[in-house]
Amino acid sequence: MKKYIVLVGIYFCLVSSAEAATMRLVPNATHLAVGDEVVVTMEATTNERANAIEGFLTYPEQQLRLVRIDDVGSAVSLWISRPLGREPGEISFMGITPGGFVGSQLPLFRARFEVIAPGTMTVSVGGIQLLAHTSTADDIPVTSSSATMQATVETAPLVVDRPVVDTYPPEVFTPQIVQDSDLHNGQMVLIFETSDQGSGVSAYYVKEYIVPGLRMFTRWQLADSPYVLKHQDRSRYIDVLAVDYTGNERLVTVLPEKETSLVRWYVLLVVLFSICLFVWYRTQRKQRINLKSQ
């Protein structure tokens, strides 16, 4: 894993000494009732600049149901693997930050749960690896704390959440194509990440197409970063669509590195069609003028 993150963030390097960091889970409430929702924030405190982190959270799936995860205002700016519930009762994540992050109580992400059964509930941190923003990417020692909550059998009163008013799309971002022998067997992968200061990023979609005119006929694919390119010759246009929880969208396009013969034929046909259309228009115009003059 260490080499994996270093390869992706190879241009992040400074020299400093290793100091302990802490990972803390902070719930917005500790006394709950069945039916309540609770938000648990993962915070990082580090006195040494760090640029890569990996780990997971565990929670009792018999008592808590994962509702959603958001990373608005996260100290991690590029998720190699976004925080997701990939396994029952577990949220895994891996990310890097250009220039690194340092400070106290820095939010990484927030997980919203619904209480589905009473009792004592503990959300814990595990498998944390924090890499220093140095030329050697040394491990930073990490200590962590859990979040413990108590839920009763009382049914929570009906609470109607106010809808989030978010009319702004996710932030502009620049996807990057990376290739390394230790990353997906040396295949080219697309790395992308953005943030949304309103409702948070809900999902990413990717499509690859050979010419712009065929964009509308190509289906979107739900994608995660890193995304393995289907066409490894870099001859395709690549669209990446970020959608937030209220439906606002941000679309960016990665241009191909080389032009295929089909693209050249397509451009030639467009040019020829434009010329023919122009000639036809001039001819029709002259005919109308001649008819009017007679």
Pair (252, 263) in one structural domain: no
Residue 262, pLDDT above cutoff 50: yes
Pair (139, 248) in one structural domain: no
Query: Percentage of the chain surpassing pLDDT 90?
Result: 41
Tell me how long the chain is. 294
Pair (13, 124) in one structural domain: yes
Pair (147, 185) in one structural domain: no
Helix, strand, coil shares, percent, the chain, to 5: 15, 50, 35
Pair (293, 252) in one structural domain: no
Pair (8, 49) in one structural domain: yes
| CATH code of the domain covering residue 224 | 2.60.40
Contacts of residue 272, Cβ cutoff 8 Å, sequence gap at least 6: none
CB 256 within 8 A of CB 234: yes
- How many C-beta atoms lie closer than 10 Å to residue 73's C-beta? 13
- How many domains does the chain fold into? 3
Q: Would 99 be classed as within a structural domain?
A: yes
The better pLDDT of the pair 7, 162 is held by 162
What confidence tens digit (pLDDT) does each residue in 138-187 have?
899 999 999 999 999 865 555 545 566 778 898 899 898 888 776 778 88
What confidence tens digit (pLDDT) does each residue in 73-119 have?
889 888 888 888 888 899 999 988 888 999 999 999 999 999 999 99
Q: Which domain holds residue 78?
A: 2-155
Residues 183, 179: Cα–Cα separation, whole Å:
7
What confidence tens digit (pLDDT) does each residue in 44-56 have?
999 999 999 999 9
CB 106 within 8 A of CB 43: yes
Place of tokens 């409702």: 199
pLDDT of residue 163: 60
Strand partners, 57: 91, 125
Pair (10, 150) in one structural domain: yes
Pair (102, 198) in one structural domain: no
Amino acid at 130: L
Pair (249, 186) in one structural domain: yes
Q: Would 194 be classed as within a structural domain?
A: yes
Using alpha carbons, select from 242, 231, 198 the residue that is nearest to residue 82: 242
Pair (247, 116) in one structural domain: no
- Average pLDDT value over all residues in the chain: 83
